[in-house]
Structure formats: structure tokens, C-alpha cells
């Protein structure tokens, strides 16, 4: 299994080193034969190659089984014409990674605002309001006059149906409940199209219960009764906001794994940012990127029908739970005192101590 590791900016190199340590233990324990290749991306790549992510890196990513992308400091990049490409957006566009999958659940030992939560937000990743994903050429955000700014929202039937199928398929393997989040009472055409297309595609999973909740109500219900929800599917911007809310309720972005997936490939990418103020302190939590990596291995295992890799993915998530359940495995954001390296080492030790078996 060849995995391409792109550490990124800020705390990225530190948490990437933690992922390397954990994957070393996982590969040895579960005999995965992981070939982990590390390449620069972001500001390091800009200094070396004149571009934040090179064509050679894209080519190597296309030849790998999966990619692990660390956080990036896009606000510090020059304009794209001067080499400041957004690696996350470029990978999503080039590899058509239309599904952003973000689980949130409460974990023993992790301080959380929610008492009980186990849900997944499936966010459409290629359309919506974001200006870099709405136009074939140029930006979907523009200013006809200095005092007027406009943004174009893109919703297609094809994009909505495929995210609906992905979400319903995920729900079919969980508690069989799918919640579609829209603002269809106001955005009648765009969110009406999204809702209808998702419903149509989701009906292919006959035993999945489907409901619709308006986005403002969902923001409240996540706080009041998060245990009610199983799989939530929504458009790009709504999903971005709600998944951060759910992550905070479950313990924070430090434990928020995330996967960007298409039909043929997937990229692990933690939900949090590069936190440049923490860079070099050894305080960053590696758990989110490790959990994202577990999701990637699980996705590859499901694609390839590899039971051994699926067992390893589940074992990795359980090892994170085990490490977070002890103070020595929690970083400062979770009320512990472990350094980034110590937290990763705790996960590796948990892997070594756990029995090996098929999930």
C-alpha cells in the first residue's frame, strides 16, 4: 500500500511525524506493508519549487493508493499566478473528490459538550457557494462596482445525486437514517433541486429512513439532541459550518477526522487548520490526522475488498480511543499534558497492545 504524505504548513510537519510513527506501528502489527512517501507541499514547496504543490506531486498522488494531506496556510500564499495554489482545493478539483466525510462522536476520556453523539456529516465538496468551485473559468465571486459584491451558487442534479448516493450508502451501513439539510424554504430552486435529487438517489437504499431539516433548525438540534442524528448530507457551505459545530460538540477539531473521497481515490485531511501560532511548540494534537488516515485505509479496504486492511483501520481508530482515554495520551487542547510526539507514541503503544483480528 503506497501512501503519499504531504505534511503542509504550521503544525503540519509535527502531526505528520506523528502519523508516520503510528503508521509504522500499524504496518508492522497488521502486516500491511505500507510504503509511506513524504513530499513537500505548501510554503516549503513554494520555497523549493516556486509553487505550493507541483505537477510532479500531483502525478505521484495519482500513482499512489492514497494521500495524507496536512493542514495548509493558504492565507500566507501569494496569488495562484505566482505559485500560491490552494493544495486542498486543487486536489479536490483535479481528482473530483466530491464527498467530504466528517464523523463526530463522543469518546471516553475526551471532554465534550455533547453527552452522546455518533454521527457523520457528508458534505458536497465540488459545488455550492465557494467561489473556486462554481465556474469553469474565473471566479464565482465578483464585484461589478466597488460597492457591490456578488457570489454565484452552483447546484447540479448530477452533483446532488452522487452525494446523495454516497450518504445513503454510508447510512445503510450504520443506523439507516439519513437527514438532508437545506434552506429550501428560501432557496427554493437551488436547495429544492438539491433536496429532490438527493432524495431520488437515496431511495436506492430501500431501508434508509429519509428526512429533511432546515439548516437553521439543524444548528439548534445539533446542540439540543445530537444523538438523534446518524448521517447528515448537505451542500458545501452548510456542511462546512455544521461539521465544525459537530466537531466542537464532540471534543474539538483536534479529534475531527475527515476524508475527501471520489469514485476512484481519496485523500485524508484533518478538519482543522495549520495553527501557525502553535507551530514548533510540540503541543498540536495528532489525533485528527491519525483518524483521517484510519478513514483513508478503511476507504481503500472497502474499495479493494481487503478485510485485513479494514481490520487495521478499525484497530487504528480503537487505538486512538484507547490513547485518548488516558491522560498521558491527551494533548493540552483536551486537558492533558502530552506533547505531539508523546500522543502519537501512546497511539502506537495501544496498537501494539491490541489483539490482531478481522473487523
Whether 95 is covered by a domain: the verdict is yes
User: Among 132, 162, 156, 155, which residue's Cα sits nearest to residue 261?
Assistant: 162
Q: Which domain holds residue 234?
A: 113-249
pLDDT digits (tens, 9 = 90+) for 278-312: 999 999 999 999 999 999 999 999 999 999 999 99
pLDDT digits (tens, 9 = 90+) for 112-143: 999 999 999 999 999 998 878 888 888 889 99
162 and 290 co-located in one domain? no
Tell me the CATH number at 346. 3.40.718.10
CA angle 98/103/106 to nearest 5° reads: 170
pLDDT of residue 133: 81
pLDDT top residue among 359 and 86: 86
Whether 211 is covered by a domain: the verdict is yes
Residue 346, pLDDT above cutoff 70: yes
pLDDT of residue 327: 79
Whether 142 is covered by a domain: the verdict is yes
> Whole-angstrom Cα distance, residue 50 to residue 46?
4
Whether 108 is covered by a domain: the verdict is no
pLDDT mean over 314-326: 95
82 and 120 co-located in one domain? no
276 and 329 co-located in one domain? yes
Give the total number of structural domains in the chain.
Answer: 2
98 and 140 co-located in one domain? no
What DSSP state is assigned to residue 205? S
Residues 6+ apart with CB under 8 A from 36: 3, 5, 20, 23
Of 223, 249, 275, the position where a domain reaches its end is 249
134 and 222 co-located in one domain? yes
Residue 357, pLDDT above cutoff 80: no
Residue 87, pLDDT above cutoff 60: yes
Of 221, 249, 277, the position where a domain reaches its end is 249
pLDDT mean over 102-111: 95
Residues 6+ apart with CB under 8 A from 177: 171, 208, 209, 211, 229, 230, 231
> Whole-angstrom Cα distance, residue 324 to residue 330?
5
146 and 176 co-located in one domain? yes
Q: What percent of the chain has pLDDT over 70?
A: 99
Residue 358, pLDDT above cutoff 60: no
Q: Is the separation of the CB atoms in 15 and 286 below 8 Å?
A: yes
271 and 242 co-located in one domain? no
268 and 341 co-located in one domain? yes
pLDDT mean over 223-229: 97
209 and 317 co-located in one domain? no
172 and 126 co-located in one domain? yes
pLDDT top residue among 328 and 100: 100
C-alpha 210 chain-centroid distance: 24
66 and 131 co-located in one domain? no
310 and 240 co-located in one domain? no
Whether 107 is covered by a domain: the verdict is no
pLDDT of residue 31: 92
Of 182, 215, 249, the position where a domain reaches its end is 249
pLDDT digits (tens, 9 = 90+) for 265-280: 999 999 999 999 999 9
Considering just the CA atoms, what is the radius of gyration of the chain in Å? 20
Whether 136 is covered by a domain: the verdict is yes
Whether 123 is covered by a domain: the verdict is yes
Whether 69 is covered by a domain: the verdict is yes
Amino acid at each position: 500500500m503506497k501512501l503519499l504524505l504531504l505534511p503542509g504548513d504550521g503544525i503540519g510537519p509535527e502531526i505528520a511525524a506523528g502519523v508516520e510513527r503510528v503508521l509504522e506501528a500499524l504496518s508492522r502489527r497488521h502486516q500491511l506493508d505500507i510504503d509511506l512517501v513524504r513530499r513537500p507541499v505548501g510554503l516549503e514547496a513554494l520555497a523549493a519549487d516556486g509553487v505550493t504543490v507541483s505537477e510532479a506531486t500531483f502525478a505521484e498522488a495519482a500513482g499512489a493508493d492514497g494521500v495524507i494531506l496536512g493542514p495548509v496556510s493558504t492565507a500566507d500564499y501569494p496569488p495562484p499566478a505566482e505559485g500560491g495554489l490552494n493544495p486542498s482545493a486543487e486536489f479536490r478539483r483535479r481528482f473530483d473528490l466530491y464527498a467530504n466525510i466528517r464523523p463526530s462522536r463522543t469518546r471516553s476520556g475526551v471532554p465534550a459538550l455533547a453527552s452522546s453523539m455518533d454521527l457523520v456529516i457528508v458534505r458536497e465538496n465540488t459545488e455550492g457557494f465557494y467561489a473556486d468551485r462554481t465556474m469553469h473559468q474565473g471566479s464565482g465571486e465578483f464585484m461589478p462596482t466597488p460597492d457591490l459584491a456578488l457570489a454565484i451558487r452552483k447546484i447540479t442534479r448530477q452533483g446532488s445525486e452522487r452525494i446523495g448516493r454516497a450518504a445513503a450508502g454510508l447510512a445503510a451501513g450504520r443506523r439507516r437514517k439519513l437527514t438532508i439539510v437545506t434552506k429550501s424554504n428560501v432557496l427554493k430552486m437551488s436547495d429544492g433541486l438539491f433536496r429532490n435529487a438527493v432524495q431520488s438517489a437515496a431511495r436506492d437504499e430501500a431501508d434508509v429512513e429519509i428526512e429533511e431539516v432546515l439548516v437553521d433548525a439543524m444548528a439548534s438540534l445539533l446542540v439540543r439532541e445530537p444523538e438523534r442524528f446518524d448521517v447528515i448530507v448537505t451542500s458545501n457551505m452548510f456542511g462546512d459550518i455544521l461539521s465544525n459545530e459537530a466537531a466542537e460538540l464532540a471534543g474539538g477539531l483536534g479529534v475531527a477526522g475527515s476524508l475527501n473521497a471520489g469514485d476512484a481515490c481519496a485523500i485524508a485531511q484533518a478538519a482543522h487548520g495549520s495553527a501557525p501560532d502553535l507551530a514548533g511548540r510540540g503541543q498540536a494534537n495528532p489525533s485528527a490526522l491519525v483518524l483521517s488516515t484510519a478513514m483513508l485505509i478503511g476507504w481503500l479496504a472497502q474499495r479493494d475488498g481487503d478485510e485485513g486492511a479494514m481490520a487495521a483501520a478499525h484497530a487504528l481508530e480503537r487505538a486512538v480511543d484507547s490513547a485518548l482515554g488516558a491522560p498521558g495520551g491527551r494533548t493540552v487542547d483536551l486537558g492533558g499534558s502530552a506533547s505531539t510526539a508523546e500522543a502519537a507514541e501512546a497511539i502506537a503503544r495501544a496498537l501494539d497492545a491490541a489483539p490482531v483480528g478481522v473487523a
